[in-house]
Amino acid sequence: MSLHITKIYIRNFRSALNLSLSPGKLAVLVGKNDSGKSNVLRALNLFFNGRTMPSNVFDFEIDHNVFHNPNQRAKEISIKLEIEMPETYKATNGDFVVWERRWRSEGMVHDEYSGRRRVAGPRGGAKLETVEIPKKSNAHALLRHINFVYVPAIKDLEYFSELRASIYDIIAEVADREFRSSSQDFEQSISHQLEDLTNQITASLGFRSRLALPKDLSHIFGSLDFLSEGHDISLDARGDGIKARHIPLILKFMADKKRGLQVRGAQPHTFIWGYEEPENNLELSSCVELADQFWGFIDHGVSQIFLTTHSPVFYNLHRKQEEGESRISCHHIFREADEEGTKQVTELGDLDERMGTTALFAPLVTELEERVRRQEQAHAEVEQLGQANRRKIFVEGVSDRFIIGKALSVFAAERNAEIDIETKDGAGINYVIDMLQSWRSRAKHHPELPRAAGLLDLDPEAKTALKNWNDVPGHTKSAKCFKLPTPPHLFPALQAGFRVPVVLECLYDKEAWFWAESHGHLKDRSVLSVISKELNNQIVNAETTLDGHLHDDWAIFVKKEFKQAGKGPMARHYANKTDEDFRARMPYMEHLIDEIVAYLFPEEEEVQEPNGEPPVIASAGFRTF
């Protein structure tokens, strides 16, 4: 039910001679240094708080655009906002409010707002009609309850002191009675300790005197500290990045607390933030987390956020939304010429040209952002999974979970109940490696954590990922990567030179593939992906045919592949086979299961036979390609 700004018009304020923009609920302002990005935030702060910055009073001579020299009229700064009204207010007050404030050298000279209603035009178009907001309308209180918070680019100790002090205003309202009681107890304790001093003052000066806390405790809150648990490290002693991450959490806390104070029937508060360069002092992963945090706050306690940035992490945010969605807007702010002042464009088509090399990093940063988000999600999932203190196998998809689960029950029945197989839809290689990485990270701090295994296909990308993981010293102490075996029925095709990727579905025998084809689970494979360039040229030149190089025993593995929709039904069908049938058709899975179980239960390796020799585990060996 909170408000949000849908249009901003700024005239003659600092570098903005004539600037307008249509912000989304998360509005990202991008541009070079001194392009005028921050002036948008300062204009909003002037509009709502009467100051250009929290520490700077309004000075018309400084804040008026130097190139605005009207001939007949007085110099004037104008800021006009269009503010969308909640649905329940529109019938009486219009669809949105137009609110304008103007300043001259003597101060504010104009402050008016009125509603606008969208109505059908005479020729089927639309037009706006002005709506006078009734004096008794709740819209007046709604507009007065807009809280604009400005966060400067330089977040020094003074800023943090003021931020902590502002917590007092909220806490004092929430717990006024409790505060009074606690402060009285504190005052009595002080009086008891200083009783001799106060008695001397009374005897000397002839009147009673006592020490008391001040009525306003905000300066005391400004001296409060956040201490890290365990080591009691002061927030002031922490790095700038850690301190910066506290800011949105503190602001969100105050917004939630203030909203919680509302009595029933009162008009709600609207919280809008103007945030300068949130990337300052943050490494990439923290930037990604903060960007996602901003996005998560929108409509969940914070109505709208304006932020200025040089970082691709933040101006890539608009790519998070669905096509056609406009909750995130990205505005390129630039200065064309001094006389023309600051301009803006919503589309980023010319960003590369105007921003230079910074914008060229955006696609690369997007890939890194995705990796960071994946790893953060994996970290959160492992934190949850690790609490169960059970052994895990992470696999690439739901089909893998069916088959590996069945293989465990057949080849390691005594350990099956002690192992969890984890995955999710569309997991893939990245999921497995990210989960192993997070498991390894958790094990460093929790040595008692059981081991985890990852299982990958044998396609080229998986082979590289497996090698990169297992070859790093220390990785396999707590998490190791394994690969699917190459089934014997695929050997002839591979030996014939066909580069068939060994994925889970290749473990199924020829009869299973024929069953899958009869149920519509297969499709034609792109032959170019599995044949050599030389053979392709021969086929193109009609020198030979593909079928001439295939054998009926394995041709289907070359010519066909599974549809995505067919993988699940096939895996369920195969996993439902009897244990005897599964063992007979997939004997090559036994060695893999033995390896994984032996890794997950290393204590068994230390068990000695009565003669002092380690137990011998017999298993069949199979070739891999």
Kindly report the three-state secondary structure assignment for every residue of 511-522.
HHHHHHHHCCCE
Reading phi first (left if > 0) and then psi (alpha if -120 to 50, else beta), residue 612 is in left
pLDDT at res. 244:
79
pLDDT at res. 158:
77
What end-to-end distance do the CA atoms of the chain give, in Å?
62
pLDDT at res. 26:
93
Assess contact for 593 and 411: CB atoms under 8 A.
yes
Assess contact for 50 and 32: CB atoms under 8 A.
no
Could you tell me where the DSSP H helices lie in 281-427?
284-297, 312-315, 351-355, 357-360, 362-386, 398-411
Retrieve residue 101's tokens.
Answer: 């404030």
pLDDT at res. 356:
54
Q: What is the side-by-side order of every strand in the sheet holding 341-345?
A: 146-151, 270-276, 304-309, 26-30, 328-337, 341-345
Assess contact for 195 and 209: CB atoms under 8 A.
no
Could you give the CA distance from residue 430 to residue 620 in angstroms, rounded to a whole number?
31
pLDDT at res. 617:
38
Helix (H) or strand (E) holding 127: strand 126-131
Report helix, strand or coil for 336.
strand
- The amino acid sitting at 476 is T
CB-count exposure of residue 470 (10 Å: 0-12, 13-18, 19+): middle
Q: Which residues of the chain have pLDDT under 50?
A: 177, 221-223, 352, 357, 606-625
Assess contact for 312 and 365: CB atoms under 8 A.
yes
- Considering the segment(s) 368-486+590-606 as one domain, its CATH architecture is 3-Layer(aba) Sandwich (3.40)
Could you give the CA distance from residue 436 to residue 420 in angstroms, rounded to a whole number?
14
| Nearest C-alpha neighbor of 49 from the set 180, 147, 188 | 147
Could you give the CA distance from residue 476 to residue 467 in angstroms, rounded to a whole number?
12
- The amino acid sitting at 246 is H
pLDDT at res. 573:
93
Secondary structure letter of residue 413 according to DSSP: T
Residue 196: partners with Cβ closer than 8 Å, 6 or more residues away: none
Residue 464: partners with Cβ closer than 8 Å, 6 or more residues away: none
Angle at 105 between CA 99 and CA 106, to 5 degrees: 80
pLDDT at res. 492:
94
Retrieve residue 426's tokens.
Answer: 């569309």
Could you give the CA distance from residue 477 to residue 599 in angstroms, rounded to a whole number?
10
Could you give the CA distance from residue 184 to residue 196 in angstroms, rounded to a whole number?
19
Secondary structure letter of residue 64 according to DSSP: B
Could you give the CA distance from residue 581 to residue 605 in angstroms, rounded to a whole number?
30
pLDDT at res. 608:
43
pLDDT at res. 286:
83
DSSP string, 298-335: BTTTBSEEEEEES-HHHHTGGGGSPTT--SEEEEEEEE
Assess contact for 49 and 62: CB atoms under 8 A.
no
CB contact burial 373-408 (16+ within 10 A = b; e otherwise): ebbbebbebbeebbeeeebbbbbbbbbbbbbbbbbb
Tokens 């030179």, residue? 497
| Domain chopping of the chain, boundaries | 157-244, 368-486+590-606, 488-587
Q: In DSSP terms, which residues pair with 148 in a beta bridge? A: 272
| Chain length of the chain | 625
- The amino acid sitting at 587 is P
- The amino acid sitting at 133 is I
Could you give the CA distance from residue 596 to residue 614 in angstroms, rounded to a whole number?
18
Q: CA 232 → CA 33, 227, 238, 391, 488, distances in Å?
A: 38, 5, 11, 35, 61
